[in-house]
Amino acid sequence: MKLRDAIVRFKYHQKSNLKQRTINSYKYLLSKFEAIYAERSIDSISPDEILQFLADLTLNDAKSTRRLRYSQIKTFFNFIIDECNSNIKNPCNASVLTKAFRLPKQKARKIVDKEAVDEMIYSARCLRDRLILELQARCGLRVGELLQLKVSDVSERKLILYEPKSGKESEVAYMPEQISRRLNEYISMKNLSPESRVFPICYSAVRSLIGKLGKKVNLKITPHDMRRHSATYASRNGVPLEIVSKVILRHQNLKTTQLYLGQVSELEAIRWMDILHGK
């Protein structure tokens, strides 16, 4: 199969199965790849040629972008190989490429403890600010999801999140009863219409809010640290990893969730052994 035909087939698959923003993310890569190798047989393109192509394409890009482009072209080859039941090996699995585009070593992240988060929440100057913190720290919402939330998306204990990061049409986040009650009181107090944004502010305003409250407890903290706290707090209190991943963080992969969780200290390891087996 020629590369041109393979790309047509891959684009048809994308159109039927993926969100438009994901399709758009591939468009630049595929157009450049086709411009060079359109008439080549898919199994004739070597790892060295792909390496050179990616090196030229991402010359001035950040490491994260270079890794993304490698992952995209690898996904393309995997799809064509599976679709055609081909025995050819994916050239992107060659060591010359896996070494050049390996994932960076993950740094251990400091997790904000519950006492600090509680102090931030209780010192929020108004109900709006408190809800923003609680929906991130207790319910695991991303700041983008929080800011896109409309009144019509609030349904009792559930929040319907449209066009989430996963690429699905929608996802559901859940709230504790007291947060659900406060959120509905806030909506009623503000007399918001169904199509109104619940929090009509921008990302920089939320970042500034959380940064200032963090300073009060001597922490340098970002909105995403609040979401990360929600996962670690749940995990440390015995919530199964599957629930943390699929319900609180809404990740597609458990490995992604594990990156969010803080390192277990020696004292905590001993405490859990006592809980499990007695002192």
Residues 139-189: tens digit of each pLDDT: 999 999 999 999 999 998 999 999 887 777 889 999 999 999 999 999 999
pLDDT band at 267 (very low <50, low <70, confident <90, very high): low
pLDDT in tens, 44-70: 999 999 999 999 999 999 888 999 999
Q: Which 3 state secondary structure label does DSSP give 138?
A: coil
Tell me the pTM: 0.65
pLDDT value for 11: 92
pLDDT band at 223 (very low <50, low <70, confident <90, very high): very high
- pLDDT surpasses 80 at 274: no
- Which segments of the chain belong to CATH 1.10.150? 3-100
Torsion of Cα atoms, 163 then 164 then 166 then 168, to 10°? -40
- For residues 271 and 231, what is the distance between their CA atoms, to the nearest angstrom? 19
Query: Do 141 and 135 meet the contact criterion of CB atoms below 8 Å apart?
Result: yes
Query: What letter does residue 170 receive in the DSSP assignment?
Result: E
- pLDDT surpasses 80 at 103: no
Contacts with 279 (C-beta within 8 Å, 6 or more apart), sequence order = none
Number of neighbouring beta carbons within 10 Å of residue 119 = 14
pLDDT value for 17: 78
Q: 16-30, 195-209, 255-269: which has the minimum mean pLDDT?
A: 255-269
Topology of domain 114-277, CATH: hpI Integrase; Chain A (1.10.443)
- Which segments of the chain belong to CATH 1.10.443.10? 114-277
Q: Are strands 170-174 and 158-162 parallel, antiparallel or unpaired?
A: antiparallel
Q: Which 3 state secondary structure label does DSSP give 106?
A: coil
Closest C-alpha to 248, from 150, 145, 151: 145
pLDDT band at 92 (very low <50, low <70, confident <90, very high): very high
- For residues 3 and 76, what is the distance between their CA atoms, to the nearest angstrom? 11
**Sheet strands (E) in the chain:** 154-155, 158-162, 170-174
Closest C-alpha to 210, from 133, 115, 110: 133
pLDDT value for 279: 62
- For residues 138 and 228, what is the distance between their CA atoms, to the nearest angstrom? 10
Q: Tell me the CATH architecture of domain 3-100.
A: Orthogonal Bundle (1.10)
What would the mean pLDDT of 194-219 be, rounded to a whole number? 95
Residue with tokens 């009509």: 200
pLDDT value for 106: 60
- For residues 114 and 123, what is the distance between their CA atoms, to the nearest angstrom? 14
Residues in a beta bridge with 41: 2
What would the mean pLDDT of 266-276 be, rounded to a whole number? 65
Query: Do 157 and 177 meet the contact criterion of CB atoms below 8 Å apart?
Result: yes
